[in-house]
């Protein structure tokens, strides 16, 4: 992999850039704590394997050539994010004893994976991004090289998103020591999910 360093640096820069995935990790960490943020980070990173596989096998090219398929998948992903946001808005916040019901970590992981998978723009990004670092004259096949690049992208995503989630969890813990903070944390998380979903649905 002759462009290893360049690919890694570019990938980290892209992952740090504000986007739907890292904003959702931040929202999870703030509203439900460090572990929720960490598990959400793992879920979004795991979703990268789906997009890498599609890109490597050329299925994404078919998706790109079908505007209707792209539009349907985009709306489905947006609707899923809005649904999560509405559930957060309907939450009752902190209970009288100061403890707020938490979602199971398995649910958070599943929602994060699905949220990443149902964003077709991530697939299209991989179709355009990964081939730039592939050596077409190398000993390895192009498909294998793209899979390796995708795994490397997933690995750095785990690290970067985990930092986001844990730091957000620390901020959430600080805020929760304030009375009635839980309700507003839920509102913040809910509005974030809804705003991201609407942005995905409305953007061309």
pLDDT in tens, 161-185: 898 888 887 776 666 666 566 567 6
Angle CA(17)–CA(79)–CA(53) in degrees, nearest 5? Answer: 60
Q: How many percent of the chain have pLDDT more than 70?
A: 75
| Confidence grade of residue 203 (pLDDT, cut at 50, 70, 90) | low
For the record, the structure tokens of 61 come out as: 């090219």
Residue 99 banded pLDDT, cuts 50, 70, 90: very low
Predicted pLDDT of residue 53: 85
Q: Is residue 4 part of a domain?
A: no
Tokens at 5, concatenated: 């360093």
120 pLDDT exceeds 80?
no
Q: Which residue has the higher pLDDT, 115 or 140?
A: 115
Instruction: Identify the DSSP state of 133.
Output: G
The Cβ-side half-sphere exposure at 179, using a 13 Å CA radius, reads 1
Question: pLDDT per residue over 25-78, tens digit each?
Answer: 888 888 788 898 899 999 998 988 888 888 777 765 666 677 776 677 677 767
Does residue 15 belong to any structural domain of this protein? Answer: no
Instruction: Tell me the two tokens of residue 137.
Output: 């004259």
Which residues lie closer than 8 Å to 19 by C-beta, 6 or more apart?
none
| DSSP track, 178-194 | STTHHHHHHHHHHHHHH
Q: Is residue 30 part of a domain?
A: yes
Number of domains in the chain: 1
pLDDT band (50, 70, 90) for residue 95: very low
pLDDT(100) > 60: no
Token code pair at residue 142: 């192009």
For residue 2, tell me if it sits in a domain: no
Kindly state whether residue 181 falls inside one of the protein's structural domains. Answer: yes
What's the rounded mean pLDDT across residues 114-127? Answer: 78
In a domain, 10, yes or no: no
Angle, alpha carbons 167-173-174 (nearest 5°): 95
For the cut 90, the answer to whether the pLDDT of residue 127 exceeds it is no
> Per the domain annotation, does 25 fall within a domain?
yes
Structural domain that includes position 33: 20-202
Examine residue 14 and state whether it is found in any structural domain, yes or no: no
Exposure of 152 by Cβ count < 10 A (0-12 exposed, 13-18 middle, 19+ buried)? middle
Q: What is the per-residue pLDDT for 96?
A: 34
Give the per-residue pLDDT at 1. Answer: 55
Global pTM reads 0.68
Closest CA to 176 of 29, 42, 23: 29
């Amino acid at each position: 992999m002759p462009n290893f360093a360049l690919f890694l640096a570019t990938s980290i820069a892209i992952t740090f850039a504000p986007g739907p995935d890292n904003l959702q990790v931040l929202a999870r960490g703030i509203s439900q704590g460090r572990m929720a943020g960490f598990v959400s980070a793992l879920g979004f990173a795991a979703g990268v394997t789906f997009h890498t596989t599609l890109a490597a096998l050329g299925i994404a090219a078919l998706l790109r050539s079908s505007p209707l398929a792209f539009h349907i998948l985009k709306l489905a992903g947006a609707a899923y994010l809005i649904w999560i946001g509405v559930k957060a808005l309907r939450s009752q916040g902190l209970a009288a004893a100061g403890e707020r019901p938490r979602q199971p970590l398995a649910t958070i992981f599943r929602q994060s994976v699905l949220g990443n998978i149902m964003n077709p723009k991530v697939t299209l990004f991989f179709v355009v991004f990964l081939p730039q670092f592939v050596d077409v004259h190398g000993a390895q096949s192009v498909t294998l090289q793209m899979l390796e690049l995708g795994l490397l992208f997933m690995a750095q995503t785990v690290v970067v998103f985990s930092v986001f989630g844990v730091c957000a969890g620390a901020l959430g813990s600080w805020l929760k020591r304030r009375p009635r903070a839980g309700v507003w944390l839920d509102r913040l998380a809910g509005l974030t999910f809804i705003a991201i979903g609407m942005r995905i649905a409305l953007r061309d």
